[in-house]
Each structure stands twice: as C-alpha cells, then as structure tokens.
Structure 1
Amino acid sequence: MSIATLTDELLQRQVPAGHLASASLRERAERDGVRFILAVFVDLNGKPCAKLVPVAAADQLENGELGFAGFAAGLIGQQPHDSDLLAVPDLSSYAAIPFVQEGLAIVHCDPYVDGRPWPYAPRVILKRLLDTYARRGLSAKVGAEVEYFLLTKGEDGSLMAADSRDVGLQTCYDARGVTRMYDHLADISEAMNALGWGNYANDHEDAPGQFEQNFHYDDALVTADRVTTLRYLINVLAERRGMTATFMPKPFSDRAGNGLHLHLSLWRDDAPLFPDADDTRDLGLSPLAYAFIGGILDHAAGLQLFLAPSVNSYKRRGATTSASGATWSPKKASYGGNDRSHFIRVPDGNRIEVRAGDGAANPYLAIATTLLAGLAGIDAEVDPGDPCGPGESRPDAVALPPTLLHAVEALRGDDLLLRGLDRDHPVGPYFADAKESEFLAWHGTVTSWEHEQYLTAY
C-alpha cells in the first residue's frame, strides 16, 4: 500500500480533539489499528532511544513501567549502577505512523528516575524552562528548518549525492533535482501532513544532494518533538530507497553544510508580543523583542555548545566559502533585518530567526538554552544596539567559538547557561565535560590529512 493511501486512511480515522483528551494510550492505539508503539526519548546528543511496545502492554507504558538502562542509552547523566530510566509517555505527542510501518505508532516520553523527572533528559529540561515562562504568563512558539543530505556510498566507500545527476556549483532550488527526488520528498511531505504538521515547502538546498522540508511553527515543545520525529522519518524512509540521510553539519569540505535554523516568537494569552508598528529601528519589533535578542547575543558564545555541539560543527562554521560561494553559517554574534549573514535574522516583526544552529543540535536543548538566554535579556532589559544594515558587520560583535573546545570554554564561562538548565544538578558542567572528551578523542585520532602533511615532511 502506498504512503499516500496510508496517510489518506489515517486522516479519515482522525476524530475531534475533545474525544482524545480522556482517551488512554491503549484506546488511541486500538482506534488507529496500531499493533506496536515506539516509545521514544532522546539523550543529550539527540540520539533517539526507543522500545517497541505491543499494544497489549500499552497500559504498562502509560503507567511508567517501561525501564531503560540509562548508561547504555547514551549521554544522559547515568552510570551502570544507577536506577532505571522509566519512560513516561506524553499522550499529546502520540501519533500513528503507518507510512513507516503499518500498525506502528510513536509517542514521545519523559524519562523518570525514582519517581521524579530525570534532570539530564532533554525533553524534561525544555519542559522545565517552558514552565518558567508560563509562570510569567509567557509562551514560546518555534519553527524549525531541518536541512539534510541524501547520500550513497561508492564502491571505494566514498560518499556522493544519492542522485548521480545532482552536480554543479549552484544547485539550490534546482527544479530538476527536486523532481528526480520527487518520490522521497512526496513521501515525507505526505507523512508530515497526515500528522497535521502543515508541510508547506520542499526544496533543494545549496549543495548537491541537500534538501529541506518545512512545516508550520507551533508551541516550543511540539516543534522539538516534531524535529525528532522528522529526523527519524527521513532516515527510515530514505533507507527504504537505498539512501543514507544525514544531518551531519559538514559532510563535505567543499559544500555548504546542514543548518537547524530556529524561528522564535513570544506570546501572552494567544497574543504575539514581538510586533510593534512604532519601532524606530525599522524592524517592526517591540522593546521586549529587542531585549530578547540582546540576551541571546550576550550569551551567543556559550550557546554555541548547544547549537553546534560536535567537532564537525566547527568545520562548517570555520569554512571561508563553499562551492556555491557561501557557507550560510554566521561567524559573529550580530543581528540584522532580512539578512542571512547574521547570527539573528529578523525577517519580519512577528519572529526572529536564530541561524547559528546546525544539524547536530539537539532540538530540545537548542530551544531551551536559546529561550533561557532570551529571558535573561528581558529581565535585564538588554539593548542589543542598532541592527546591522544589509551586508554590514559590526566591528564590536563577539566572534563565535572557532572549535568545539572553544565552545566548551565559552559555556564554562557563562554561569547562566552553565547552571541555568537545572540549579540543583550539574547538567551544564556534565555536558561541557562530555564535549571536551569528544573533542580530545577526535584530536587524538591520526587522520589522512596528517599523513599527507607530515609523513615525509621531516
């Protein structure tokens, strides 16, 4: 059965939200003809961890009886001797996904340990930060741009665009490239629409083999869940066609890399707080929005460890150019209007776009830390100064960290971000230590570049 047929059937089975509010996980699954539920959470690196739960055990899952060995799951603050992580599903995130496998559903979970939300779990971190906003009568809406490559391996093991005809220096928006990948892009689009996300565009990005598929913005937690789900869908459906999908920030030295751009806005009582028609700086923003921007810029260096959390991230950031002529990766903590060269772009008065994130970013952590910095800016009424004009660069703008190790040190020097994820648990220091170890593990690996440079140089 085609994905289009499956998604049509799924849409026909949908019932009004009011009927879902009191339905149990088992009832939802049985209504959708689901046989198994994928119970998912992510570690601090963004790795999706899951167990496949038969519907017969849905009540046990809903009751928080499904245990994981946290140390085995990944970077999530546990040791082998620690108590199990118990995955507690958020029923509002439940969705049938027959386009992946007929009879399959997915639900995002919050890990608990000894009866309490586990402070090192990224979804728990974001929820706590959103609770802080809610206590002030604020809510955050977020949109995300997810970029990725579709690749295959040659006989010699080299990576190449899955579409062998996808070549050239400027392939962005190429109508022929999109058409050749029509089946894959259509499958992902139809899956997103069946889930109610509102896919509105699918395009070929800057580099050969690179694509982006967009969906409407929503509440911050909903969008973080959707980014996690979308990465899973893209990976699995690409594999069906013999391709490898990667969100790696910089898979190729001479091509643009993968970003994860975040569009943010703040609201109170369903009313947007960013627009201001009387803005004298001509961006259409309110004083609150400018203070939010100021907070993000003030903490931009430390934020990089969450927005660009891999060794490979800084090969994207440090690139001087790409085959197309642009890297699309900011190097300084600056902001401006509809100008994609800045850390923060303001496309209109309704939102801001943080452009420093890349495909390695954990969406929960990236959103949480950005909102944390923005809230600090509001509290301190930070003035970010005048925006840069088109193509301009402020000489006093802070340079972003050039390597992962520099980003670690920037986080360690930023007490708000280091301690602000959880004042009672050392989540920030734990993450910084793990990323320092990651950098040193890479640094200790001898590469072919070193052979070429040094083997016979002395």
Structure 2
Amino acid sequence: MRQEERDRRRAQAERSLDGLREAGVVGVVLPWVDTGGVTRVKSVPLQRLPAAAAWGVGMSPVFDAFLFDDSIVAGRFAGSAVGDLRLHPDLDRLTVLAAQPGWAWAPVDRYDQDGRPHVQDSRLLLRRLVDELAADGLTARTAVEVEWALGLADLPEGSEAGAFVPALTGPAYGMTRHVEVSDYARDLLTALTAEGVGVEQFHPEYAAGQLEVSVAAEDPVAAADTSVLVRHTIRAVSARHRFRASFSPKVLAEGVGNGGHVHLSLWRDGANLMSGGDGPAGLTPDGEAFVAGLLAHLPGLLAVGAPTVASYLRLVPSHWAGAFAVWGLENREAALRFVTGPAGSRQSAANVEVKCVDEAANPYLLLAGLLAAGRAGLASGARLPDPVEVDPGSLTDEGRRAAGIRALPSSLEEAVRAFEADDVLTGAYGEELSATIADVRRGEVAALVGCSPEEVATALRWVH
C-alpha cells in the first residue's frame, strides 16, 4: 500500500469523525470472517480511527487456522504463532450500528506489515474476482438470505447450558408467530433500515423459532458485507430482547436447519443475462453458461458453502435443502433453483438461487467460488442439462441414474475431496488459501469424529 493511499484513507477517516461524534459513536467495530466462517473482531476508540485507516490494526494471521471451538489447526500455510497482519477498515462501508448505541462498524481488508494484500484474505479475493468479471464486461448482482432460529436467553430451570429453547411457539409461516415476535421484528427492521440495509421481506420460517429476512441484491462484495452486518444486527437486537440467535445449519438435530441461500444474476450493459434469451427458462447463452458452470462445480463448492459437519445434517433429500446436483425452474428441491420472477419484471428479477449452502460459510469465500465457477462455465461455453421438475429424492436410485442425477457430497470429508480435485476452484483461491480451507475442514472433521448428530448440533449451535 503506497503512502498516497494511506494518506487518502486517513483523510477519509478524519472527515467522518464529526458526524460519528454527533451520532454518539465512541468506538468502531472492525470485523472479518475467518476460514471457518466465524466472524472475528477488533475495535478501536473513535479517535484512533484515522490511524487505523492509514496503518491498520494488528492481528495475528493464526486466525486463518482457527476451528469452531477456537482450537488451532497446524496447517500447511496457516496456524503459526509467528507473524502479524494489519486490519484496514473499508470506510466506504462505515455504518453506525443502530442496535448498539455508541458503536460504528466497518469491514476490514487484511494486509501484511509491508502493505501487501494478505494472500488468504477472503474479502480481497472476492474483490479481485469481481474486477476480473468486470474486465470481461460483466457484473454480478447477489444477495444472501439470512435465516436464524430465535431462542430464549433466560433458560427455564433445569435446562442444560447452551440449550436451545425456541422463543416462538406459533406454526411455520404462521400469523401467530409473527404476532409473538412483533416488537422484536419492529426493532430489527428499524435498525436495518437505519443502517442502510435494503430489506425486501421478513417472515416466520419453518423450523422451531425460525425467522428469515431477505435483502436487496448488490455488488458481490457489498452483498457479503451486508450479510455480515445483518447477522451482527440480529445478534444485537436479539440480546436487547433477551433472546439468542442461532445461524447454525442444524440448531436441533431433529429439526430443519438454517440455510444461507445465495441469489445471483449476471449482467452486461444493463441487461440481465438470466432473462430474455432463447435458452431454457429464457436464459441467454451467457446466462446459461454461467449457471452451467455453477452446476458443474457444486460438489467442490460445498467445501466453502456447506463448511461444517453440521451442514450435512441439513443437506438431506426432501427437506428443501438441495441435496442433488440439479437445476430446475422454481424447484425448491434443486440445488440450483431458477427464479424467473413475475411476468412484467423478469428482466430485472430473473436469478438463480443456490440452495445447498448455509450460513456457516464465509460469505466472501462462497461468493468468490460462485463467480469462479460461473466464469469457468462462460469460458467453456457450457450448456445446462434438462431441468428437473420433480423432487429428485422421490425417484428411485435407478430413476436418478437414468436421468443423470447425482447426489451432492453427503459429508464434509467428501466435499473436501471434491474441492481438492477441482482445479477451477483451487486455482481461483490459490495454493495457500486452498490448502488452509482443506486443513480447517479436516480439522473440524477430526474434532467431531464419533459425535452423534445431537452432539454435533450442540457443539456448533451458537458458533456462527
């Protein structure tokens, strides 16, 4: 990082100070998401923000190798106690936290001590892939759905520590549940609006205590930032209401898990390439090639998009989780659900929803992998197979074989092997980050070997 850039960042921070003081801000939270999908933070007093913007805040690179339980993997390129990085806040995304009075928030990029980008920084990786897509004359619009299960913070007498007791008792999607959560939801929507988040929908979901919020599509880096900010805000509002929010892919072993579905569309010169074409479901040739690239690389993508042992308790057939590598028009059992949108708005609304991923994923790593897979499809002129119009889980094994339908990996170890065999994905992430992804995933597998589904759900319930 050149001195001119440091000076620009310092000046930008200094210009923000008066407005932040007027908003009552006394400190700034500086978050990043580690390889395992856990959001880690440091923070600085407001008066230190200009120095942090110019010179960063120190943090060990060892966090690249952290597991869900804060143990550390001795990885091939991560896990050493030696070295230091600098956390540089992106002040273009500086946000006053409406649910945490006195605090602001700014996601960080990680650089080394000499100002070089950290080779394992996922946010910088995603920005690079967005820039490469732009060099091809293309842009992507993305949004990450956020599902969470709302539990009581004050547990009934006799409950085990860390237990999940649903804060809502009404039926799935029911008005009763919406009424039960009315004040909480009001405060959440108010906070998100104040933070500049474009909320499109809020509703009760299927599982016990489960809720969902959908947000507007953005540039991929902004969409990943927003997913982190939304979850941060949900946690803060939940705490103020004496609730706890779990984003785990499997809160209860016997229940339906939380997904982290990604909606994605590809654009050129203001035109949505997911609509208006002569291909299947109205896809243009480039739109079809991009979606075909996603489909081809889904097995390896699960190592970043479904990155925990608990993910594979969620990723089962006939649970709307997308357990088979298929695509289909409005098929909620397909790993890739194609959404045209209503007649009259399809040019703006058409997108593909990636359903087989969850919120344990580092969103920057996941969106980077999706862009890399889609670009590979574009480069090869890939074409989609016929869409699947039924629940693949309802077919016999012979019926699936005849239709060319394959199951996605059913365990984290299987997903890691698919990832390591995928030259497109490992090439996009690079040698060091690819190795660390595999090392961290296998570290989690080893940490939970022999555990029952109930023990896995308990271990990961409050981590992500």
What TM-score range do you get, normalising by the shorter chain?
A: 0.7 to 0.9
Distance in 1 (alpha carbons) for counterparts of 2:37 and 2:446: 20
What one-letter code is carried by the residue in structure 1 that aligns with 2:321?
A: S
RMSD over aligned CA atoms reads: 2.4
1:49-448 aligned within 5 A: 49-72=40-63, 75=66, 78-101=78-101, 103-113=102-112, 114-152=114-152, 153-154=155-156, 155-157=158-160, 158-163=163-168, 165-166=169-170, 171-279=171-279, 281=280, 283-318=281-316, 327-348=319-340, 350-391=350-391, 395-422=403-430, 425-445=431-451
What one-letter code is carried by the residue in structure 2 that aligns with 1:401?
A: P
Distance in 2 (alpha carbons) for counterparts of 1:268 and 1:91: 28
Distance in 2 (alpha carbons) for counterparts of 1:448 and 1:130: 39
Distance in 1 (alpha carbons) for counterparts of 2:453 and 2:315: 20
Contact 1:256 1:328 in 2 (8 A): no
What one-letter code is carried by the residue in structure 1 that aligns with 2:236?
A: V
Distance in 2 (alpha carbons) for counterparts of 1:35 and 1:207: 38
Q: Identity of counterpart residues, as a percentage? A: 30
Residues 218 and 72 (structure 1), Cα distance of their counterparts in 2 relative to 1, 3 Å cut? closer
What one-letter code is carried by the residue in structure 2 that aligns with 1:31?
A: G
Once the 2 structures are TM-superposed, how far is the Cα of residue 182 of structure 1 from its aligned partner? Answer: 1.2
Once the 2 structures are TM-superposed, how far is the Cα of residue 359 of structure 1 from its aligned partner? Answer: 2.1
Q: Cα deviations across residues 63-99 of structure 1 (Å, max 9, x unaligned)?
A: 0331112215754954444321101121211111132
Partner of 1:456: none
Residues 151 and 449 (structure 1), Cα distance of their counterparts in 2 relative to 1, 3 Å cut? closer
Structure 2 unaligned segments of length 5 or more: list them: 1-7, 67-74, 341-345, 457-464
Distance in 2 (alpha carbons) for counterparts of 1:121 and 1:198: 27
SS of aligned partner of 2:448: helix
Partner of 2:459: none
Q: Which runs of 4+ in 1 moved over 6 A?
A: 20-23, 446-450
Contact 1:49 1:73 in 2 (8 A): no
Residues 433 and 449 (structure 1), Cα distance of their counterparts in 2 relative to 1, 3 Å cut? closer
SS of aligned partner of 1:52: strand
Residues 288 and 21 (structure 1), Cα distance of their counterparts in 2 relative to 1, 3 Å cut? farther
Once the 2 structures are TM-superposed, how far is the Cα of residue 21 of structure 1 from its aligned partner? Answer: 11
Partner of 2:71: none
Distance in 2 (alpha carbons) for counterparts of 1:29 and 1:268: 38
Which range moved further: 126-135 or 150-159? Answer: 150-159
TM-score (ref. length: structure 2): 0.84
Contact 1:148 1:359 in 2 (8 A): no
Residues 22 and 351 (structure 1), Cα distance of their counterparts in 2 relative to 1, 3 Å cut? farther
Q: Cα deviations across residues 255-279 of structure 1 (Å, max 9, x unaligned)?
A: 2110011110112233322212544
What one-letter code is carried by the residue in structure 1 that aligns with 2:302?
A: Q
Once the 2 structures are TM-superposed, how far is the Cα of residue 294 of structure 1 from its aligned partner? Answer: 1.0
What one-letter code is carried by the residue in structure 1 that aligns with 2:164?
A: L
Distance in 1 (alpha carbons) for counterparts of 2:81 and 2:251: 37
What one-letter code is carried by the residue in structure 1 that aligns with 2:140?
A: A
Partner of 1:15: none
Once the 2 structures are TM-superposed, how far is the Cα of residue 416 of structure 1 from its aligned partner? Answer: 1.3
Once the 2 structures are TM-superposed, how far is the Cα of residue 27 of structure 1 from its aligned partner? Answer: 2.2
Contact 1:26 1:55 in 2 (8 A): no
Q: How many residues align?
A: 415
Distance in 1 (alpha carbons) for counterparts of 2:250 and 2:330: 25
Structure 1 unaligned segments of length 5 or more: list them: 1-19, 321-325, 451-458
What one-letter code is carried by the residue in structure 2 that aligns with 1:295?
A: G
Distance in 2 (alpha carbons) for counterparts of 1:407 and 1:381: 25
Once the 2 structures are TM-superposed, how far is the Cα of residue 303 of structure 1 from its aligned partner? Answer: 0.7
Distance in 2 (alpha carbons) for counterparts of 1:271 and 1:347: 16
Q: Which structure is richer in relative contact order (CA contacts within 8 A, separation 6 or more)?
A: 2
SS of aligned partner of 1:87: strand
Distance in 2 (alpha carbons) for counterparts of 1:441 and 1:66: 31
Residues 246 and 288 (structure 1), Cα distance of their counterparts in 2 relative to 1, 3 Å cut? same
What one-letter code is carried by the residue in structure 2 that aligns with 1:220?
A: P
TM-score (ref. length: structure 1): 0.85
Contact 1:263 1:354 in 2 (8 A): yes
Contact 1:337 1:390 in 2 (8 A): no
Contact 1:44 1:121 in 2 (8 A): no
SS of aligned partner of 2:334: coil
1:45 matched to 2:36: yes
Contact 2:56 2:89 in 1 (8 A): no
Contact 2:60 2:81 in 1 (8 A): no
Distance in 2 (alpha carbons) for counterparts of 1:260 and 1:234: 15
Once the 2 structures are TM-superposed, how far is the Cα of residue 254 of structure 1 from its aligned partner? Answer: 2.6
Q: Cα deviations across residues 146-180 of structure 1 (Å, max 9, x unaligned)?
A: 111001344321422023x34xxxx2211110111
